[in-house]
Structure 1
Amino acid sequence: MSSPPNPVVAPSHILALLDRLHKESTTQEAALGTYLGTPDGFDDLMRDKFIALDQDKCQFVYQLARATGARNVAEVGTSFGVSTIYLALAVGSNIKTSGGGEGTVIATEKEATKAEKARRYWKEAGEELVTRHVDLREGDLLETLKENVPILDLVLIDIWAPVALPALKLLEPKMRSGAVVLVDNSISSAARYAELLAHLRSPANGYTNLTLPYSKGLEMSIKL
């Protein structure tokens, strides 16, 4: 049986890097097992853990960003920067195919050690295709996202649940009509994300919503 197609257009060294990082993430996630569902001490447990957005989800995010021509993206919860590479590749390709201009992936990370590792992976991927398109903002994202946010085409949320809804509300004034919001683990962590999902699904807030049947769920919402 042939392997499913990979939509990511990138040099072989970047594709190999992504494969390697996903394997590391899968190994750590399997080792953690049921601890991932334990709220007590969750922050301390995950501080040095490498749990990236699943590879099939990352490929979907890349494909969606290409399809929508996304140039400006906010990633709420960057961690080690794996999904950021996909977003940067998509933004760079969109800029190139549309004849130039500007575009950026705003990456957010509170933990300095994770931010430093993310920078190393982005450097390994390369300045031209990845690093130049990333604006990493370290610290409390509820502060770092207050200013200098362009009109957004796409928002990816993969972060500790209590921060998710305040972060989205902070970004909403900068989201264009038709902007897409993606929320990881919308099935497995539905209870944690209850307030965020309720906000997205309330008719008063102007989104259409779809739960994609990926492992643990991936919510796709479009701002009308």
Structure 2
Amino acid sequence: MSDPAPNPVVAPDHVHALLNHLHQESLTQEAALPSTYLSSPDGFDELMQDKFIALDQDKCQFVYQLARATGARNIVEIGTSFGVSTIYLALAVGSNLGRLGGEGIVIATEKEPTKAEKARQHWREAGDDLVTRHIDLREGDLLETLRDNIPQVDLVLLDIWAPVALPALKLLEPKLGSGAVVIIDNSITSATRYKELLGHLRSPTSGYTNLTIPYSKGLEMCVKI
């Protein structure tokens, strides 16, 4: 019998139990969705109002490990939903600040008030000191909430409906220094709907290097150079 895959996330047992539970809920909800939900905009917002559709657990662990490896202090999550991946980001930032010192924050965006409240509940369950205090949740239209009070950004996690993806990234680009990382979920299965975003990032004049990581549905890792 093979050993279980290692989990890089440093957290108390109750946090691991919570994350496992939330990921299972997300998988259950996603399995019940119609197969066209990613490709059709019709009724998408209404359909997603009460759905997790969280970043896959292995992807969350990868992003956590990446944030730890790079010492990321300031992270922007574009598309927070119920706040599952945000827990990983906050744990990483908290660990980095404890090791490296200084200040840092996870800026999380969510336009749906009921999802934002559910995310806060999950963060409280994980722990205010461990998670909540490292998160600045900005509710509303992210093209407005990301306009001001953005520090130098080390990492961007982008998992949002395609029409606002590129405009959101362009808002943040003045704050991306050399070595900043942009992560995009579903970059293989959603390559068509992310065509403008991926075209921008992969342009020879964009100032990024790009790698498609072959996780389920794809995960794009772009480094600002």
Q: Identify the residue that residue 178 of structure 2 maps to in structure 1.
A: 177
Q: Identify the residue that residue 150 of structure 1 maps to in structure 2.
A: 151
Specify the SS of the correspondent of 2:220. Answer: strand
Give the Å deviation of 1:88: 0.2
Distance, in Å, in 1 between the alignment partners of 2:181 and 2:34 is: 31
Give the Å deviation of 1:39: 2.5
For residues 56-71 of structure 1, what are the structure 2 equivalents within 5 Å? 56-71=58-73
Q: Identify the residue that residue 55 of structure 1 maps to in structure 2.
A: 57
Distance, in Å, in 2 between the alignment partners of 1:4 and 1:130 is: 24
- 1:137 maps to a residue whose letter is R
Specify the SS of the correspondent of 2:205. Answer: helix
| TM-score, with structure 2 as normaliser | 0.98
Specify the SS of the correspondent of 2:89. Answer: helix
Q: Identify the residue that residue 78 of structure 2 maps to in structure 1.
A: 76
Aligned residues: 223
Measured against aligned partners, the alpha-carbon deviations of 1:155-193 in whole angstroms (never above 9, x if no partner) come to 000000000000000000001111000000000101110
For residues 106-185 of structure 1, what are the structure 2 equivalents within 5 Å? 106-185=107-186
Q: Is 1:186 aligned with 2:187?
A: yes
Q: Is 1:90 aligned with 2:92?
A: yes
Structure 1 gap ranges (5+): none
Specify the SS of the correspondent of 2:211. Answer: strand
Distance, in Å, in 2 between the alignment partners of 1:149 and 1:91 is: 16
Distance, in Å, in 1 between the alignment partners of 2:105 and 2:204 is: 30
Specify the SS of the correspondent of 1:203. Answer: coil
Distance, in Å, in 2 between the alignment partners of 1:54 and 1:153 is: 22
Distance, in Å, in 2 between the alignment partners of 1:36 and 1:3 is: 32
- 1:65 maps to a residue whose letter is A
For residues 205-220 of structure 1, what are the structure 2 equivalents within 5 Å? 205-220=206-221
Specify the SS of the correspondent of 1:63. Answer: helix
Give the Å deviation of 1:33: 4.1
Distance, in Å, in 1 between the alignment partners of 2:52 and 2:185 is: 16
Give the Å deviation of 1:101: 1.8
Distance, in Å, in 1 between the alignment partners of 2:204 and 2:131 is: 37
Measured against aligned partners, the alpha-carbon deviations of 1:41-93 in whole angstroms (never above 9, x if no partner) come to 11111111111000000000000000000000000000000000000000000
Aligned structure 1 segments of 4 or more residues deviating by more than 4 angstroms: none
Distance, in Å, in 2 between the alignment partners of 1:134 and 1:175 is: 19
Identify the structure with the greater helix proportion: 1
Measured against aligned partners, the alpha-carbon deviations of 1:100-128 in whole angstroms (never above 9, x if no partner) come to 22110000000000000000000000011
Measured against aligned partners, the alpha-carbon deviations of 1:19-52 in whole angstroms (never above 9, x if no partner) come to 0000000000011140423332111111111110
Distance, in Å, in 1 between the alignment partners of 2:52 and 2:68 is: 26
